[in-house]
Amino acid sequence: MANYLHEGDLPDGLFGGVASVAVDSETMGLRLGRDPLCVVQLSAGDGDAHLVRLSRPDYAAPNLKALLADPAVTKILHFGRFDIAMFRLHLGVVTTPVYCTKIASKLARTYTDKHGLKDLSRELLGVDMSKVQQSSDWGAPSLSAEQVAYAAS
């Protein structure tokens, strides 16, 4: 299991032939139209995490864009509505098909009102996630080791 940091885009053919990929993003805030998209994290479920630090403001990432729009690959997200909107705005892609774990949690876990990723990870996987880096400076010229570890988790 390893974490890979890619500058600007994914390498050619990295996720070729996969049926699904987990996707998340990091931004400079939560306001669509104001805040930039900075990092996209992906994993095919093999334990490896691939982080793409996007080049702004052009967002030229043809391999990432192709993967997000690939109808043969299901994108698994948590609270995907925000990520999908950021991908549409900044990358110009319609992310499809998608599976949102937050919606799945609300449908399946009717006994609770706790559907955040941290709560799901703790209850279903026994993993206690730290959210300390969530609001760190994702637009910095380089990512810290703590940011990479957080994004990969």
Tell me how far apart the alpha carbons of residues 126 and 5 are, in angstroms, rounded to a whole number.
26
Q: Is 21 helix (H, G, I), strand (E, B) or coil?
A: strand
Q: Kindly state whether residue 55 falls inside one of the protein's structural domains.
A: yes
Which pLDDT does position 132 carry in this prediction?
59
Q: Which of 56, 57, 27 is nearest to 136 (CA)?
A: 27
Neighbouring-strand partners of residue 5: 51
Tell me how far apart the alpha carbons of residues 133 and 111 are, in angstroms, rounded to a whole number.
30
Which pLDDT does position 137 carry in this prediction?
87
Q: Kindly state whether residue 140 falls inside one of the protein's structural domains.
A: no
CATH code for the domain of 46: 3.30.420.10
Whether 51 contacts 4, CB under 8 Å: yes
Predicted model pTM: 0.91
Q: Kindly state whether residue 129 falls inside one of the protein's structural domains.
A: no
Q: Kindly state whether residue 119 falls inside one of the protein's structural domains.
A: no
Count the domains in the chain.
1
Q: Kindly state whether residue 145 falls inside one of the protein's structural domains.
A: no
> Which structural domain range is residue 53 located in?
3-100
Per-residue pLDDT of the chain (153 residues; tens, 9 = 90+): 899 999 999 999 999 999 999 999 999 988 888 999 999 999 999 999 999 999 998 999 999 999 999 999 999 999 999 999 999 999 999 999 999 999 999 999 999 999 988 899 899 888 887 775 777 889 888 999 999 988 888
Structure tokens at 109: 């876990």
